[in-house]
């Protein structure tokens, strides 16, 4: 059988590629994917974690493989993205708009502007006090005390 005649390869090649293997999880119907996998002849293998002491690990990893496909898939969403893109709904990330965070430079500029505003107010208040002292004819000691 030629490579182009392989139905497994043609379905996999036509499926859209995810932007990254760890892309945000999309909504998909787990039961539908599992039913479709059973009808297509997928083999599910469960393996206990090898790095744990014997008998202490209850965690198993599931691996999914389709006859004729050399790739082993590690999750149902990965299988759905590769073979059943029609069963995947839009992800939450695409539905909800992200809140834009101001860049750090903007925050620094705001802090700088606030500091400049406080210095300006302080200098105006100092000038106002100096004018009051000059009108009253106070001593230099009183002026130093106010500063």
Distance CA 77, CA 83 (A): 10
Q: Tokens 């090649």 correspond to what residue?
A: 13
Calculate helix-pair angle for 76-83, 7-14, nearest 10 degrees: 100
Cα Dmax for the chain: 108
83/13 Cα distance (integer angstroms): 9
* pLDDT of 143: 57
pLDDT in tens, 48-76: 877 656 666 678 889 999 988 889 999 98
Q: How confident is the model at residue 5 (pLDDT cuts 50, 70, 90)?
A: low
Contacts of 131 (CB under 8 A, 6+ apart): none
Does residue 10 surpass a pLDDT of 50?
yes
Which runs of consecutive H residues, i.e. helices, occur in the chain?
7-14, 30-40, 76-83, 92-95, 104-136, 140-146
Cα distances from 124 to residues 111, 131, 140, 147, in angstroms, run 20, 11, 20, 13
Q: Which residues, other chains included, contact 34 with Cβ-Cβ below 8 Å and sequence gap of 6+?
A: 76
Q: Which pair of structure tokens corresponds to residue 68? A: 């004729």
- pLDDT, tens digit, for every residue of 86-100? 888 765 555 566 677
Within 13 A of 112's CA, how many CA atoms are on the CB side? Answer: 6
């Amino acid at each position: 059988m030629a490579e182009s005649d392989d139905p497994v390869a043609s379905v996999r090649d036509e499926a859209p590629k995810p932007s990254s293997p760890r892309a945000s999880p999309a909504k998909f119907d787990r039961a539908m994917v599992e039913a479709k996998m059973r009808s297509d002849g997928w083999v599910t293998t469960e393996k206990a974690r090898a790095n744990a002491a014997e008998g202490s690990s209850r965690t198993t990893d599931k691996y999914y493989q389709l006859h004729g496909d050399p790739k082993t898939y590690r999750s149902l969403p990965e299988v759905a993205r590769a073979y059943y893109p029609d069963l995947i709904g839009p992800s939450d990330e695409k539905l909800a708009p992200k809140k834009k965070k101001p860049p750090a430079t903007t925050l620094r500029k705001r802090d700088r502007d606030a500091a400049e505003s406080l210095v300006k107010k302080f200098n105006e208040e100092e000038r106002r006090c100096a004018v009051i002292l000059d009108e009253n004819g106070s001593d230099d000691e009183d002026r130093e005390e106010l500063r």
